[in-house]
Amino acid sequence: MTLLVVGLILFLGVHSISIFANSWRDRTAERLGIRWRGLYSLLALVGLILIIKGYAAARLTPIVIYVPPYWIKRLTDTLMLPVFPLLLATYLPGRIKTTVKHPMLAAVKLWAFAHLLANGMLADVLLFGGFLVWAIVDRISLKRRPQRPIKTAPSGKYNDWIAVIGGVVLYGMVMGWAHLKFIGVRPF
């Protein structure tokens, strides 16, 4: 469990710098240039690896906090459907991105909430609860700070269609085989 907690602190901590120290982050990024991206990416990658290893280890000796009813898993499957189109809409400017404003954060919140409904082990609560709290706090902080531009595809009239169709295809791939192959759990 320690690896999971350290990984979450490192990964979410790096991703929270703009939330809690935006001016410092901007000054440091400007001073370090490309080295900032390298350091940021390295710390996030180490955090992600620790999360993966820690979560896998924690699943070997589960600590039950709550047992969700069986039917809630169908709700989880349904809540996961918009996650992938929202992720793609982050990089495909269109009406989805304009309406949702921060589709990546909306996707993370939906993903985390859906998984909290279906999983009641301590490791699940730490992992998905941590990401849910981070996404909520980040979204709130974006009301008080400017959003940095992200590289996206050019605006186009088909971007929403690409996000939705591509997202549904990704959903099918993840739910059909990738979740079982990489996570070890069959969603359906």
Domain residue limits at 150: 65-188
Cβ 162 vs Cβ 85: under 8 Å: no
Q: Are residues 151 and 107 part of one domain?
A: yes
pLDDT digits (tens, 9 = 90+) for 4-16: 999 999 999 999 9
Kindly tell me if the per-residue pLDDT of 187 is higher than 80: yes
pLDDT digits (tens, 9 = 90+) for 27-42: 999 999 999 999 999 9
The last residue of a domain, from among 61, 79, 113: 61
Q: Are residues 151 and 94 part of one domain?
A: yes
d(CA 43, CA 28): 15
- For 188, the token pair is 């359906």
The proportion of the chain whose per-residue pLDDT surpasses 90, expressed as a percent, equals 85
In the chain, how many domains are there? 2
> Which one-letter DSSP state was computed for residue 92?
S
Q: Are residues 101 and 166 part of one domain?
A: yes
d(CA 160, CA 82): 12
Q: Are residues 51 and 93 part of one domain?
A: no
Q: Are residues 71 and 54 part of one domain?
A: no
Q: Are residues 10 and 46 part of one domain?
A: yes
What pLDDT band is residue 124 in, cutting at 50, 70 and 90?
A: very high
